[in-house]
Amino acid sequence: MTPLHQYLFLSALLFGVGLAGALTRRNAIIVLIGIELMLNAANLNFIAFWRFSRHPELATGLMFVLFSIGIAAAEAAVGLALIIAIYRHYRTANLDQFDSMKG
Amino acid sequence: MAWITQNLWLIPALPLLAAGLSSLAKQRQRAFAASLAIGSMVAAFLLSCAAFVTTLGHAGTFREPPVNFLWFQLGETTLQLGWVLDPLAAVMLVMVSFVGLLIFIYSVGYMAHDENFTRFFCFLALFAAAMLGVVISNSLLLLFVCWELVGFTSYMLIGFWYHKPSAAAAAKKAFITTRIGDIGFFLGMLWLYSETGTLLFYDGGQGCLEQSALTKLAAQTTMLGMAASTGISLLIFCGAMGKSGQVPLHVWLPDAMEGPTPVSALIHAATMVAAGVFLVARVYPLMETVPANATVAAQTAETLTPALSLSEREREKQISASDESIRVEPSAVRKIADAPQNVLSLPAGEGRGEGEGQEHAAAHAVSTALKLVTWIGAITAAFAALIAVAQTDIKRILAYSTVSQLGYMMMGLGVGGVAVGMFHLITHAFFKALLFLGAGSVIHGCHDEQDIRRMGGLKPFLPVTFGTYAVGMMALAGVPVFFAGFWSKDDILHNAAHWPVSSGPFWLGVFGALLTAFYMTRQVCYVFFGQRRAGILPARHAHDERSSKVHSSVPSSSHPPGGQAGGLSYDPHESPPVMTTPLVVLAVFAVVLGFFGTPAWPWFQDYISGHPATGDLSKLFEWETSSIMLLSTIVVALGLSAGWWLYGRLPSATPEDLDPLERMRPSVFQVLRGKFYVDELYEATVIRFNAWTAWLSDGLDRVLWDGVVRGVSYLVLGFSWISRFIDEYLVNLGFDKGCDGIRGGGKLAAAWQTGQVQPYLRVIGLALAALVLLLSWGRVQ
């Protein structure tokens, strides 16, 4: 059985890729994909810690992650809808040009 | 109570409605306005007749119970209005609506070419409504309101041709002069209200003309030892003097002739100016109240027993004051006191029968107010007649004659009571309206000529006008037996001869009668006899200033204006039937009315005083009556023959001919023609004083009050300048610094918020990394 630290390593890698994508890319859709990656890294952590916990027979971690995925799907839908609305308004998906929220 | 008594308000309301509707009419809707006004007058006349018949039917009852209603209430204070139907109101109603109706019809012809025909009828109808309101009102307040409305419409109608400066000035003069009298009236009304707490004339014993109020007023002494009743009477008489053109305030009435002739006939001869006489007749019980301070016993009794109620005091007074009723047992006295309408003092002094024995014994003495009324009336009668002798404007002669006749009416009220004055009022209304309408017909026929020197020889041209005018003239002059003026004037002279106070008014009246006959003969000779003098003058600039204004500025002239410029002569023409028919009707009444008030059959006097009519032909031949009649006949004959001798025998041939009187006594004649210089006197005194006061007030206003106001404003300016300085240099500086600091901080903080998502995310990432490092570093330690 794969030891815990490998899962954690993979998870950290996934998170790092997601964060890098979210921080560096200008396209809103790529940023959204990065965010989804980070979320999945968190989910992977969850599952790993559940499997290596003292009571793996209880399906609590699994249930939690299922909910998290469901919410992530909803969030992705809302996020894409927002991006489409913003695109229709500004005729671009470039995040640098969306600065109307500044003080 | 009869239906008409309840609905008496309809009589003034109908013309009021007509006035309101025709005020909405367009200028060109002439037929609509005229028919509305005339129709409403016909209805008012019919209702008035119904009212008149009602008062006839109740020969015994003196007055229909008045209809009163609450106008408004302020705490304890209540103001009631109402209307009353009694013989006094009934005859006035019939007279006003009938004469008014005839004059309305006449106006259709007279004003036919005026562009403001519709407006004219609107005002006429409003006037009729207000005048009928004056007549029926049972409240001094309602009377005053209508009185002022009448004055207002008079103002509007005198100034009907307002583009003539003289008409506008005359309207103002009329309004202001009558206002001077009305101030007195108003003060009297306030005083009366504060003393009695009511302005209703008759209110089932509570009215201000009824016994309890009169007793109270008579008992109250004010300044100069005058009773409150006397003071109030005199103040109210001021109003009557202004409206009826009595001597000090007569100046407006002749000038009021600037208005259209039907207006002069209706308002300034027949009805409105008689309103003053009517007012005196209406408040006659108050006027004739003799102050009780003469009877010391009554006064001391009152001061000693202030706790007694009013009715008890009154009862005491009746016991103490009336000699013959001292034996009456208390129950009877209580009955009298509880039913005060039984002890109403009758308006007519002579109409006091034995049935009213409860009246004060002192009531037969003449009150101060009535003395003043008599003297003012007598002086006015002679004074105005003197002026009328020398006037040359056909309407002005009639105007001064009106003033003189109003003086007679006042004198009649003073010496003989309501019936005597009212009889002359009614007969005068008919024959003076007739004379004015006749004069209007002459003016109309002579192409708006008003100067009698430029008329002459009109008899063949204006046959109907001449005939009716002659009837009116003889009625006014008092030609015996067949004319109304003879009987009514004779009644006044008869009573004046028996006036206990003085015989002065009688002789003034006789003198006035002589002059009346004289100046009317002069006028008729000038206008209708002799040869035609019009058009002999080559050019119009020789004209009287006034009449040329009439020509130049009145678009109502029925003839092409271009035709008048050349100074050619025109044939005068008779007026259309719509104008002559009212003349004929009025002439008939100027004759017939006299027979209702002869000494042999004084129906009118009995009717006004509420007696059953009596007829006794032998009274006509008693020496006491017939001597006065003989005297006035001689006087009239003298006046007529003197007039004929001077003016009819040798008529002047040209307008420039001097008046025969002027040739004889130039200086006297000049004074008379100058109207005794009353206008000039007022100009030099009242008006100059007024102007001076105005100048002074203006100066005070500009220098003193304005100075104070300016000083205050400068002070305020100084303060505000200092405040501004403090504000700008102390408060604002500190504030600005604080603001700058906050703004800088805000800018700095706002720089962080770029609005871009990724920098935020970057910060979050860095913070996360830092957090992780911190946690793991802590674990390591």
pLDDT band for position B548 (cuts 50, 70, 90): very low
pLDDT tens digit string along B347-374? 443 333 333 333 343 445 788 889 999 9
Distance CA A60, CA B552 (A): 117
What pLDDT, on a 0 to 100 scale, did the predictor assign at position B59? 54
The predicted model gives B4-19 an average pLDDT of 91
Is A67 part of the contact surface with chain B (CB cutoff 8 Å)?
no
Q: Which two tokens stand for residue B495?
A: 């009573």
Taking the CA of residue A30 and the nearest CA in chain B, the distance in Å comes to 12
What pLDDT, on a 0 to 100 scale, did the predictor assign at position B308? 39
Nearest to A95 among B749, B752, B757 (CB): B757
Chain A's closest residue to B747, CA to CA, is: A103
Substitution target in B747, B748, B757, B771 with the highest count of A β-carbons within 10 Å is B757
Residues 72-101 of A with CB under 8 A from B: 95-96, 98-101
What pLDDT, on a 0 to 100 scale, did the predictor assign at position B729? 85
Between A21 and A98, name the one with better pLDDT.
A21
Between B160 and B534, name the one with better pLDDT.
B160
CB B501 within 8 A of CB B371: yes
What pLDDT, on a 0 to 100 scale, did the predictor assign at position B196? 87
Chain A residues in contact with B758 by the CB 8 A cut-off are: 22-23, 26, 31, 95-96
**Average model confidence (pLDDT) across chain B:** 81
pTM, full prediction = 0.71
Chain A residues in contact with B761 by the CB 8 A cut-off are: 22-23
The residue type of B307 is: A
pLDDT beyond 60 at B154: yes
* B77-83 vs B67-74, strand pairing mode: antiparallel
R_g of chain A computed on alpha carbons:
17
Distance CA B448, CA B564 (A): 10
- Whether residue B753 and residue A103 make contact (CB cut-off 8 A), yes or no, is yes
Taking the CA of residue A22 and the nearest CA in chain B, the distance in Å comes to 8
Residues of B with CB under 8 A from a CB of A: 749-750, 752-758, 761-762, 765
pLDDT beyond 90 at B566: no
The predicted model gives B266-271 an average pLDDT of 88
The predicted model gives B270-285 an average pLDDT of 91
pLDDT tens digit string along B158-193? 999 999 999 999 999 999 999 999 999 999 999 999
Is A22 part of the contact surface with chain B (CB cutoff 8 Å)?
yes
CB B462 within 8 A of CB B574: yes
- Whether residue B758 and residue A99 make contact (CB cut-off 8 A), yes or no, is no
Chain A residues in contact with B771 by the CB 8 A cut-off are: none
Q: What angle do CA B567, B572, B573 make, to 5 degrees?
A: 145
Query: For chain B, what percent of residues have pLDDT higher than 70?
Result: 85
Could you say which DSSP state residue B72 is in? E
Among the listed ranges B31-40, B260-269, B671-680, which one has the minimum average pLDDT value? B671-680
- Whether residue A23 and residue B749 make contact (CB cut-off 8 A), yes or no, is no
What pLDDT, on a 0 to 100 scale, did the predictor assign at position B307? 40
3-state secondary structure B163-209: CCHHHHHHHHHHHHHHHHHHHHHHHHHHHHHHHHCCCECCCCCCCCC
CB B188 within 8 A of CB B179: no
Chain B residues in contact with A102 by the CB 8 A cut-off are: 750, 753-756
The predicted model gives B565-594 an average pLDDT of 79
Coil vs helix vs strand at B82? strand
Chain A's closest residue to B754, CA to CA, is: A102
- Whether residue A23 and residue B753 make contact (CB cut-off 8 A), yes or no, is no
Taking the CA of residue B761 and the nearest CA in chain A, the distance in Å comes to 7
Nearest to B755 among A22, A23, A101 (CB): A101
Coil vs helix vs strand at B80? strand
The second-level CATH assignment, the architecture, of A4-90 is Orthogonal Bundle (1.10)
What pLDDT, on a 0 to 100 scale, did the predictor assign at position B570? 62
What ipTM was predicted for this assembly?
Answer: 0.80
pLDDT beyond 50 at B300: no
pLDDT beyond 60 at B295: no
Chain B residues in contact with A103 by the CB 8 A cut-off are: 749-750, 752-753, 755
Nearest to A98 among B753, B757, B765 (CB): B757
pLDDT band for position B205 (cuts 50, 70, 90): confident
Q: Which long-range contacts (CB under 8 A, 24 or more apart) does B397-400 make?
A: B397/B452, B397/B519, B397/B523, B398/B257, B398/B264, B398/B269, B398/B432, B398/B435, B398/B436, B398/B439, B399/B253, B399/B254, B399/B256, B399/B257, B399/B264, B399/B268, B399/B269, B400/B254, B400/B675
Coil vs helix vs strand at B752? helix
Q: Residues with Cβ < 8 Å from B244, sequence gap 6 or more?
A: B273, B274, B275, B276, B277, B406, B409, B410
